[in-house]
Structure formats: structure tokens, C-alpha cells
Amino acid sequence: MEQRFKGHIASLLGTPKKHRLLLGVSGGVDSVVLTHLLHRLQLDFGIAHVNYGLRGADSDADEQLVRDLAASLDVACHVTQAPIDPTASGVQEKARDLRYNWFGEVLESNTYDLILTAHHADDQLETLLMRLTRGSGLEGLGGIQDKKGFLVRPLLPFYKDEILDYAKEQKLLWREDLSNSSSKYLRNAIRHEVLPSFMGLSADVAANTLTSMQYLRDAFKAIQSQLQNIKTGWKQEGEVLKIPFSSIDTLHPKSFWLHHLFAPYGFDTKEVEKLLETHAGKKCICEKYVLSRERKHLILASTTVTVATEQEYFLVPERGIETPIKLKISANFIASMPTANCVFLDKEKLVFPLILRRWKSGDVFYPTGMTGKKKVAKYFKDEKMSSLDKKKQWLLCSGDDIVWLVGKRINRKFEAVANTTTLQIQLV
């Protein structure tokens, strides 16, 4: 195994001895074996360990083993304690985020070049089966990459049995995480209940599956290359991106390419397809971006910037807005009597981000205190507003619906009532 590892890590890193490596070590057999291999190859590395405190004294014993291992090899040892509530939801996800964020901090502050983890071939197969259950796309089904940015996984070609055999041959010490034997988490359930049956289908099933995953990764790389070719016709103009129809009209199959082009921004493919079939002025809105249809192109902009041509601004609950007017948004208020500058809305009926715009000819809403709908222009006339006041009037909208003539009247369709999740919006 040692010779195979030597050849593999050389193929990943070129000249491994030129790099300072930071190795994530849990104290389990996989990371202990990787530590031993790096030491045998006389590479320049340090160890990093996170103690989440999830298993009390066992977690502390893991930490001590890692400290002892580092001391025995005379390598740097970086340890942090980051307690996580074991009863909270998403424990594994929180632990992973904490771990990688801290690894990045250690790398930067200690001039390491790369972060290494001990993921292996069995982890790769588990990941594939997990992602199949979650409806992952092509990139997800390609599994774990052996090198991505600063992150390197040099044990991916090796199976768990090989790693265990090597550890026993070298008489290495490691600790078993007893929580790994529980099927509480999806990965553990797949590891103990699904993967053994899957591996037993044939002698070649694991190797063939890993080969298929490599084909999927290669296919995804080819798709990424083609996406870059498509985007050569896209033009950045200030804070907006102009996407000519000529760059996407001939794509086939269109839904496939639209997904890969716009899903990274948060857009649903069917929404984009519908947008392309409608007329100028329509838009798709997601949490962070707005996609607007013009006559010959689409305009992609962040919800935090103005699309100057249409003088529109976008609001999300967490931020409110400071310009062109200041609107403060607060959630979970008990609805009370609205005023001209402070309204209470049913949050569940709103589509975010909200749109702040000027009024347009043909705008209608359903004013509180009235029956039926009313044209905004007629409301202005009844209120005896001047031409200048009309031009200065802002409308807060949810999709195509007017929610509030800011500082004047709200749409009764969005008015907060008893037992609704209430959003307070205040003009300040």
C-alpha cells in the first residue's frame, strides 16, 4: 500500500515535498494511517483536530490520542474545541462546516499550502448512494473529488479493508467512534445496511461503480467547458449581466443547458423557460438574483442592486433597504393598527424578494377599506395628487401584485389578520 500511495500522491501533487500539508486527523484508523504514510514519506505536514465534545470523555480521549500521535512524530498539532449540542438538528452538517472553516483558518495563519483528509473508496461509494437518495445531478453523482482547490484526498483509491490491514501490519493505534455503528444518520445507515449488500452483488461491483463515477466527473468537466463557451456571448455591464438570446436559442436539449446555466444562481429551470416564452418586462426572482426579460436579451442582477433601466429595487426580510427610501422590515410582530408609514402584512402571502418600483400605467390594487379593485391612477386622482407627487410615488410589490402604496394605502389581500405570520414594514 505504501508504494501505491507514494505513486498516487505524487500524481496528485507533482512534487509532494514542495508542499506544506495540513492533515485533518480525527483519531480514527483512516486519518491515523494517512498520518503514518505522510511521515514515512518524510513529507512536511502538521495535524489538525476538532473536538466537538459530542461524546464526552470519548471525545477528549480522541483529542489526547491525536496529541500523542503528533508528539511521537514530532509534527505540529493544532487543536480546537468547538462544542456542538448533540440533540440539535443537522449535527453532522454543522460539524463539517465548523471543521472545514477552521482548517482554512489554520492553513492561512500557519502558511500551509494544502489541506488533506482521509476519505477513501468506501466513502466514495457511500456518497454516491446518499446522493442518489437526494436526487443529485451529474456533479453530485460524480462523488468526491480527489483534489479541489486547497483540499486533497489522497486515500480515495484505497478501500477500507486495505487501510485496516495496513494499520494492523504497522501496529498503529487508533480509536473507534462508537457513534459510527449507529444507523441514526443516513451515511451510517447506508454504510451498515445498504453498502454490504451492494458490494456483494459481484466481485467487480465496487471497482466498476468507481469507474462509472469517474466517467461522470469527466462528463461534468466537459459540460463546464461548454458552459464557458456559451457564456462568451454574455456581457457584464456595471452590476448587471446581459445575456443575449442568441447565446441560448440554439441550445439542445434546452432544459438541460438552462439548468446548468441558471441553477447556480438559484433559478428553477421551468421558470426560466417560461420567462423566455413571455414578453419583455417579465422577470424571475429568487433569493439573491433577478432575471429580467428584455426584447433581445435577459438581464441578470443581484437583488441588492438596482436595475437602472427599470428603476427597481429589491428587498429581503433580513436587510430591508436604505435607498432610494429607507424601509425597515421586522418579522414576527403582533399585528396592530397600521399607519401611513407602518404596515403589517401576512408574510406567508408574500413572494421574496419584494420589489420597490414606480407606478406604471394599468397598475391596479385592492385598497383596504374598499370593495373591489382600483386603478392606481384613479386612486391618485381621488387623492388629488399632483403630477410630481405621482412620479415620486413608490410601490412595494410581491411579484406582479402591488402590496403597498408606500406611505399611503396597502392592498387588503396582503393585510395581516389573526393567526398569520406577521411582517412589519416601516417607512423611516
CATH number of the domain at 210, please. Answer: 3.40.50.620
Residues 118 and 170 in one domain: yes
d(CA 217, CA 319): 38
Going residue by residue through the chain, which has 428 residues, state the pLDDT in tens, using 9 for 90 and above.
899 999 999 999 999 999 999 999 999 999 999 999 999 999 999 999 999 998 889 999 999 999 999 999 999 999 999 988 887 888 888 999 999 999 999 999 999 999 999 999 999 999 999 999 888 888 889 999 999 999 999 999 999 999 999 999 999 999 987 777 667 778 888 988 899 899 889 989 999 999 999 999 999 999 999 999 999 999 998 778 999 999 999 999 999 999 999 999 999 999 999 999 987 778 888 878 889 888 788 989 887 664 444 567 887 776 788 878 899 888 766 667 788 899 999 888 988 888 898 888 889 999 988 888 999 999 999 998 877 788 789 999 998 899 999 999 999 999 987 777 888 899 98
Asked if residues 152 and 222 have their Cβ atoms less than 8 Å apart, the reply is no
d(CA 74, CA 38): 13
Residue span of the structural domain in which 287 resides: 234-302
Residues 121 and 11 in one domain: yes
**Helical residues (DSSP H) of 110-192, grouped into ranges:** 121-133, 138-141, 160-169, 186-189
Residues 407 and 290 in one domain: no
Asked if residues 423 and 344 have their Cβ atoms less than 8 Å apart, the reply is yes
Count of the separate structural domains present in the chain = 3
d(CA 29, CA 277): 56
Asked if residue 203 belongs to a domain, the reply is yes
Asked if residues 203 and 118 have their Cβ atoms less than 8 Å apart, the reply is no
Residues 18 and 156 in one domain: yes
Residues 242 and 190 in one domain: no
d(CA 165, CA 49): 24
Percent of residues in the chain assigned helix, strand, coil, to nearest 5:
40, 20, 35
**Helical residues (DSSP H) of 264-329, grouped into ranges:** 269-277
Asked if residue 374 belongs to a domain, the reply is yes
Asked if residues 284 and 265 have their Cβ atoms less than 8 Å apart, the reply is no
Residues 38 and 125 in one domain: yes
Residues 298 and 361 in one domain: no
φ/ψ of 116, rounded to 5, equals -115, 140
Residues 111 and 201 in one domain: yes
Residues 160 and 247 in one domain: no
Residues 250 and 212 in one domain: no
* pTM of the full structure: 0.66
Q: Residue 405: helix, strand or coil by DSSP?
A: strand
d(CA 102, CA 79): 10
